[in-house]
A and B are shown apart, each in its own frame.
Chain A
Amino acid sequence: SQQGEEDPQALSIQEGENATMNCSYKTSINNLQWYRQNSGRGLVHLILIRSNEREKHSGRLRVTLDTSKKSSSLLITASRAADTASYFCATDKEKLTFGTGTRLTIIP
């Protein structure tokens, strides 16, 4: 299986702090995508990083990818209460294989 597995499973931080979530996977990938899901809602795409890229930025998001370690990280800087959600990495090899997610809570 090429499952992405995130850690930590849950993370609570104060508003304004940075949040870092990690993802590990097992097999080769075409790219890796990060998604966000508010409770009981749909999946919102955050960022896609290709297998030949090492780092990517989008606004307050920074994603890194280390294919030698088969790992990725998502950094959210200057967190806001509205960032409270579950965050999933998904390895992409034709289909997406999702991890179990990190439940992020931002405390105002």
Chain B
Amino acid sequence: EPEVTQTPSHQVTQMGQEVILRCVPISNHLYFYWYRQILGQKVEFLVSFYNNEISEKSEIFDDQFSVERPDGSNFTLKIRSTKLEDSAMYFCASRVLQETQYFGPGTRLLVL
């Protein structure tokens, strides 16, 4: 069964460094998402992406964040200058139209 994949599974970085989290959505999906979950808290929407542009973003998704679909398969989330409070599990999701969103296994980001 097709699935969303994410790399790396874990990332440790120093505050102020840039990180890129990578996702490969399911191949025929059209809508792509990033969510995050701070330890012990609820899953929060960051951004949605459709037709090569951002369709919606949350207040969390400030100028430090960017997304890109550099080729036909990858979908990346970049955090330009990480802060301690960016430590979280980051989930990528994809779907076709108004159907189920399928989530990847997540990248656990730790900012020191």
A-B contact count (CB 8 A): 51
Bound Cα distance A40, B91 (Å): 12
**Contact (Cβ within 8 A) A48 B100:** yes
A90 vs B100: C-alpha distance in the bound complex, in angstroms?
11
Once bound together, how far apart are the Cα atoms of A94 and B55, in whole Å?
9
Majority-rule SS of B interface residues: strand
Q: What total of chain A residues lie within 8 Å of the partner, measured CB to CB?
A: 22
Contact with B along A76-108 (1 / 0, CB 8 A): 000000000000101010111111110000000
Q: Which residue of B lies closest to A5 (CB)?
A: B42
* Residues of chain B at the chain A interface (Cβ within 8 Å): 33, 35, 41-45, 48, 55-56, 89, 91, 93, 98-106, 108
Listed by A's residue number, 29 A-B pairs whose Cβ atoms lie within 8 Å are A30-B98, A31-B98, A33-B100, A41-B106, A42-B104, A42-B106, A43-B43, A43-B91, A44-B103, A45-B101, A48-B99, A48-B100, A88-B42, A88-B43, A92-B101, A94-B48, A94-B55, A95-B33, A95-B45, A95-B48, A96-B35, A96-B43, A96-B93, A96-B101, A98-B35, A98-B42, A98-B43, A98-B44, A99-B42
